[in-house]
Amino acid sequence: MPAARSVFPSRAAQRGVSLIIAMLMLVVIGLASVAIIRNATSADRAVNNNRLQTQANQFAQVALQFCENQLVIQSGRTVKVQPAPSPGTPAVWTVKAHWFDPNIVHTLAATEITGTNQPKVPPQCMAEGLGGTGKFFIVTARGFSDDYAQDSDHATTSGSVVWLQSTVKLAG
């Protein structure tokens, strides 16, 4: 009877092929894991940025509505209404320095912000006349996200700032 041949190749013929295949599989799995983690981190950052932008927008809306309501109040008004700029003079809201002058801009106090969510940087607003009959006003507001920061020149270094503007006509 002839000797039976083995179905499996000899050890000498294998020469570590399975080890190479296993190492390649580990590399592929590792690269796939890194890609998945980067994608998840990127999506998380995008969602957080969207949340902060929405937060700044909501605070700007609060400030805009507050200033608009203040225009209607004749006595006890806390917002100073600036006169309409003369021809050739820029609008008050366009001058950066005005946003840091408490005689021009109104920074909302915690008591003027309804709701439980208080901003770290309070929103601001200002109102100025548009000339003519004195019935038309432009109201400008800015809201800030909780991660907002600025440098010594008041330039934004991080976070979101949302600017909103409306034109108001008073009756009468």
147: nearest Cα among 51, 52, 47:
52
Host domain of residue 122: 29-169
69 is a domain residue: yes
Beta bridge partners of 167: 138
pLDDT of residue 18: 83
pLDDT of residue 7: 65
Residue type, 46: A
Mind listing the pLDDT tens digit for each residue in 87-143?
A: 889 999 999 999 999 999 999 998 888 776 888 899 999 999 987 777 899 999 999
127 token code pair: 């109102």
Is the model's pLDDT at 82 over the cut of 80?
A: yes
Report d(CA 13, CA 9) in Å as an integer: 6
pLDDT of residue 101: 93
112 is a domain residue: yes
68 is a domain residue: yes
Is the model's pLDDT at 13 over the cut of 60?
A: no
Which 8-state DSSP code applies to residue 2? P
34 is a domain residue: yes
14 is a domain residue: no
109 is a domain residue: yes
C-alpha distance across the termini of the chain, in Å: 120
Tokens 């590792």 appear where? 30
Mind listing the pLDDT tens digit for each residue in 19-54?
A: 888 889 999 999 988 888 888 778 888 888 898 999
Q: Number of folded domains in the chain?
A: 1
12 is a domain residue: no
7 is a domain residue: no
Report d(CA 161, CA 121) in Å as an integer: 10
Distances (CA, A) of 140 to 21, 52, 130: 65, 20, 13
